Amino acid sequence: QKEVEQDPGPLSVPEGAIVSLNCTYSNSAFQYFMWYRQYSRKGPELLMYTYSSGNKEDGRFTAQVDKSSKYISLFIRDSQPSDSATYLCAPSGGGYQKVTFGTGTKLQVIP
Amino acid sequence: EAGVAQSPRYKIIEKRQSVAFWCNPISGHATLYWYQQILGQGPKLLIQFQNNGVVDDSQLPKDRFSAERLKGVDSTLKIQPAKLEDSAVYLCASSLGNQPQHFGDGTRLSIL
């Protein structure tokens, strides 16, 4: 079993839709949870950064962590064509511990 | 604030040749990482430096890959000799303390 599981997609939605991207993980030591966005031929860009369980909202983006079920979600409201990218979940134990990346979910928002 | 700089952006070599990549982290970031990202996969950590010391190189294929970070700033990653399976994007990232990592745009390596 991989430490972090993420549906690779691709996920195709119409503009304005609500998008839900999800990851599961197996390592109970993970305390910090990141979402990175990666455009084609670019490096990953930090989108959201949360600690422990709960929700965090930033504009159209909401990150949700449920440590009891080891489930991580990213919601995108009012999705835009510019949101078309690959989204990587990346949990970590924190400090200088290694970040473990999911395989990424490729999202396409159709105008 | 300038981001993580990497060069070259693209490199094409034949198998068994050698290649080197360069990374300049964000100013002041003591921690530097090299990742390998194969098409359709997430980044895989190859090596992590704290200043000029190695913190984690457990997934670095040491028979062919080497990395150094002289003076605790810039870093180079070398592959010698290259194999076909080394075709990937090589990403450099840096971080300040225990803050999230910031990535460069990577070097796309193709092995013929």
Give pLDDT tens digits along chain A (111 positions).
789 999 888 999 999 999 999 999 999 999 999 999 999 999 999 999 998 888 999 999 999 999 999 999 999 999 999 999 999 999 998 776 789 999 999 999 999
**Residue of B1, B6, B41, B60 to mutate when probing chain A, most A C-beta within 10 A:** B41
pLDDT at B88: 98
pLDDT at B52: 85
**CB within 8 Å: B103 and A44:** yes
Asked whether the beta carbons of residue A43 and residue B106 sit closer than 8 angstroms, the reply is yes
- The rounded percent of chain B whose pLDDT value lies above 90 is 90
User: Strand pairing partners for B19?
Assistant: B79
- Which residue carries 């455009």 as its tokens? A39
Question: A96, B103: Cβ pair inside 8 Å?
Answer: no
Question: Distance between CA B19 and CA B82 in Å, rounded?
Answer: 8
Q: Which residues contact B3 (CB under 8 A, 6 or more apart)?
A: B26, B102, B104
- The answer, yes or no, to whether residue B70 has pLDDT greater than 90, is no
Question: Which residues lie across from B110 on neighbouring strands?
Answer: B12
State the pLDDT at residue A45. 96
Nearest CA to B112 out of B10, B15, B11, B9 is that of: B15
